[in-house]
Amino acid sequence: MTAAAGAAPVKINIAKVAMTSLAASSIEWYDFFIYGTAAALVFPKLFFASSLPPAVAQLAAFSTFAVGFIARPVGGIIFGHFGDQFGRKRALVTALLMMGLSTTAIGLLPTYATVGILAPLLLIALRFIQGLAVGGQWGGAMLLAFENAPPKQRGLYGSFAQMGVPTGVVLANLIFLVIGATVAPDNFLIWAWRIPFLLSILLVALGLYVQLRLEDTAEFQALQAQEAQQQEAAAKALATEKGVSVDKAKAMLRAAKGSPILKVIAQRPKEILLAAGAFVAANGTFYVMINYALAYATDAHHAPHVPRQTILMAVMLGSLISAPFLPLMAWLSDKIGRRTVFMAGALLMGLWAVPFFRLLDTGAFPLMLLAITVGSIFNDVMYGPQAALMAELFDTEFRYSGASLGYQIGAIFGGAFAPIIATALFAHYGSGMAVSAYMAALCAISLLSVFLLAETHSREHRRVMDAS
């Protein structure tokens, strides 16, 4: 790997960068997850007509949840282009501000009883903005750590953005648990559910901190320096050839420069599709465990159904207990390879899908906790090396675009429809085993996708484009 000639070395405090990546990802995912929790527990009652049957209202609420996933690849394209052209930091800051403001606005929305059909329409619009933001956030937060990390520790440092997911789950469930324990049930539906959404205004403050206190990644700055040198030489040659000024020649070169997203689609279509396939299992089974499980366990038509607080506590503790496995698996992938670790996780998660629902069906808290904890650990075996695996598939010039696009396409086919498909399967078959089969199928897709990818952890990556 070569640095751009003449580029001054960039001093990086990797610990500060990693913690900022974790904080940005944690709060962003907290915002995204509180929507899922509210979609399972609150939105069917408040944002849809009371005349709808409960199952239909639940499906409608989960459909608005899916809107965020549909927006994610759009966000990945927009922010990927922006991040590859103008910097990882600027793209991340914009995504953080969008998420903070849109989530806060959800906490201020009027309900169906107040404004009728306008209520779910506004909810859908803000959920779409959330999706755009999270589609751009992941690439920025992940690359902030990944591109600044020592070459042999990229899996570990890339996982700091991934650790925002269990942290966000714990925070999202914790806030609903605290509110549920301190506020009367009627008040919870009337006003208290809004508190978790209003707290996301803190994300705006974090965005400002990133903007003011952090530099862009050393790798991106090296790329910018090299491109500037190449552009200067090319502009002088073009100016002589065309008989125009150097500034005019530079403007002509900028206009002719291709879009990073179009470049990566043209040059790495296989990698994008396989990266998407790799992610469907980690994403889909995750949302079954943390979102659909809430509706499944508390459904009055499911026996035995449990109180909301019980399953929320199981999800929160399961995420907390399993969280250390995520960086551990990322570290292991630095040692033995991304594919080996990832495929092991897909296989284990696919096998665990059957006991998962059998344990939930007991209604016993220790067994429900066991189901979610073990499932979360197996999910972390996949999710830990995910950031490094995807980032290493693409060169610096279009890494933000390529990794974001693969990740977000996988999110659509994995997590977007997982709660809806799970709800429909249970409604049709009346058994959690149908959902288990769906989870196993997602794992088979990811296992095959990663098998077809080349190993990346020991590859000599191009930090910047070739000088030629």
pLDDT value at position 254?
Answer: 63
Q: CA 152 to CA 437: how far, in whole Å?
A: 38
Which structure tokens are listed for 138? 């992941």
* Three-state DSSP state, 355: helix
Q: CA 155 to CA 397: how far, in whole Å?
A: 20
- Asked if residue 350 lies in contact with residue 447, where contact means CB atoms within 8 angstroms, the answer is yes
- Asked if residue 347 lies in contact with residue 187, where contact means CB atoms within 8 angstroms, the answer is no
CA dist 179 → 32, 35, 172, 182, 210 (Å): 18, 15, 11, 5, 30
CA dist 449 → 57, 279, 338 (Å): 35, 9, 13
Q: CA 308 to CA 108: how far, in whole Å?
A: 24
pLDDT value at position 238?
Answer: 65
* Number of continuous H segments (helices) and E segments (strands) in the chain: 24, 0
Domain spanning 14-217+258-452, CATH class = mainly alpha
- Asked if residue 345 lies in contact with residue 379, where contact means CB atoms within 8 angstroms, the answer is yes
pLDDT value at position 458?
Answer: 67
> Residue 98: enclosing H or E segment and its boundaries?
helix 88-106
Q: CA 271 to CA 420: how far, in whole Å?
A: 28
Q: CA 360 to CA 304: how far, in whole Å?
A: 9
- Asked if residue 246 lies in contact with residue 38, where contact means CB atoms within 8 angstroms, the answer is no
HSE, CB side, 13 Å, CA atoms: give it for residue 185. Answer: 5
Rounded to 10 degrees, the C-alpha dihedral 163/166/169/175 comes to -80
Which structure tokens are listed for 357? 């629902």
pLDDT value at position 372?
Answer: 96
Per-residue pLDDT of the chain (468 residues; tens, 9 = 90+): 334 444 444 567 788 888 888 888 888 788 878 887 888 788 888 888 777 788 788 888 888 878 888 888 899 889 998 889 888 888 988 988 898 899 999 999 999 989 999 999 999 999 999 989 988 888 888 998 898 888 889 999 999 988 988 888 888 888 888 998 899 888 888 899 999 999 888 877 887 788 777 787 878 878 778 777 777 777 677 667 767 776 776 666 565 566 888 889 999 999 999 999 999 999 999 989 988 888 888 876 666 778 888 988 999 899 899 999 999 999 999 999 999 999 999 999 999 999 999 999 999 999 999 999 999 999 999 999 999 999 999 988 889 999 999 988 998 888 878 888 998 998 888 888 999 999 999 999 999 999 999 888 766 544 444 433
pLDDT value at position 106?
Answer: 93
Q: CA 295 to CA 37: how far, in whole Å?
A: 9
* pTM exceeding the 0.85 threshold for the entire prediction: no
Q: CA 164 to CA 28: how far, in whole Å?
A: 8
pLDDT value at position 464?
Answer: 42
Q: CA 226 to CA 465: how far, in whole Å?
A: 8
